Amino acid sequence: MKKTALLTCLLGLLASIPAAAAEMKDVFGKEVPIGQGRPTLVLYANKSTREELRQHAYQFIYDVRAEKPIVVVHVDLRDVPGLFKGMAKGEIRKGHAESLGLMRKLFLKNGETPPPDMDSSLFMVADSKGEPHESMGLKKGFEKVFAQVLDFTGQELARGPLANARKLGQALASTPDGKPHTQVATTAR
């Protein structure tokens, strides 16, 4: 009886830990520092949302730059056959470098110096099993980029399609007590 109660208690504690705060590594083997003092923008994407990600995510990230968020892109590989998952991870690594280059160009285009910590603020995570995507209600083959905003402790502030950039930007710009502290000029689509 006591073992059952202890097990139930432990399972309850584990369930209360935010899913995003669980240890995860990016495609380079680096630990993703969610919940370690900076807000986080998590983008859920797959091969069919690549173009939407390219067209809209960079501007959104630029618009919320004052918050200095960590950006995590979870790439769903459930649609990729097992033999090609290694190749897909290689493409994600290339996409990481390409994304940093495009962000630098965006900063320069707007007359700003790119932040020196940009490399340590972008994490690309290859997701072979789809668990993080499923936890957001995203079925295999979803068609729109989905976003989640986490506060500096890893607690969720907002979630929704990237098309809801204004709502997501406002959540990212709020303090832990929910009151905005920075004006975020997100572009509406």
| Residue written as token pair 């098309």 | 163
Give pLDDT, residue 75. 94
What is this structure's pTM?
0.79
DSSP classification of residue 73: E
Per-residue pLDDT tens over the stretch 1-17: 554 443 333 333 333 33
Domain ranges for the chain, please list them: 20-172
What length is written for the chain? Answer: 189
CATH 3.40.30.10 fits 20-172, yes or no: yes
d(CA 186, CA 158): 15
Per-residue pLDDT tens over the stretch 139-170: 988 999 999 999 999 999 999 999 888 888 88
